[in-house]
Structure 1
Amino acid sequence: MILAEIGQYLRQHGRASLRDLATATGSTPEAVEAMLATLARKGRVRRLPAGSTCGTACCQCDPATLALYEWIGE
């Protein structure tokens, strides 16, 4: 179930932080990271390089501390 929720969230938003995905699914960052690894192996998501931005203009987070993921799959 959480795998589908993560996929749906990323399809809707394009990219998101690990923290945002954990909050959206009501799960822990560790559990979400494991699901993201599964989606990455399937070629559906990728982790963005350190320093990437989430795509919003708020600038409230330090990009160097964010783990950002982007939907690239079907």
Structure 2
Amino acid sequence: MILRDLQVYLAERHTASLAELSTHFHVEAAALEPMLKKLVRKGRVRQLPPPKPCGECTQCDRTVFEVYQWV
């Protein structure tokens, strides 16, 4: 997978969570994060604010709530 594939996917979907991207590209979330940060710096993608916590639980996977939007 290359940066261009990530851009095309986000442009088509408009928004996607880190977990969705990881599943779609069969890549660990940690490997996607530098590419997403680069796209954010370039102004092509923005990271949406996380939702408010539902409680004191810490069992949720952060990648589900880390959502990126094509600009």
- Give the structure-2-normalised TM-score: 0.77
RMSD of aligned residue pairs (Cα, Å): 1.9
Describe the superposition over 1:34-66 as per-residue Cα deviations: whole angstroms up to 9, x where unpaired. 1000101110000000118xxxxxxxx9xxx51
State the partner residue of 1:69. 68
Does the residue aligned with 1:20 lie in a helix, a strand or coil?
A: helix
Matched, 1:5 2:9: no
Structure 2 runs not aligned, ≥5 long = 53-59
4+ aligned runs moved over 3 Å, structure 1: none
Count of residue pairs the alignment pairs up: 61
Q: Which has the larger radius of gyration?
A: 2
Matched, 1:32 2:32: yes
TM-superposed CA distance for 1:2, in Å, is 2.4
Q: Under a length normalisation based on structure 1, what TM-score does the superposition of the two structures give?
A: 0.74
% of aligned pairs identical? 43
Unaligned runs of 5+ in 1: 53-60
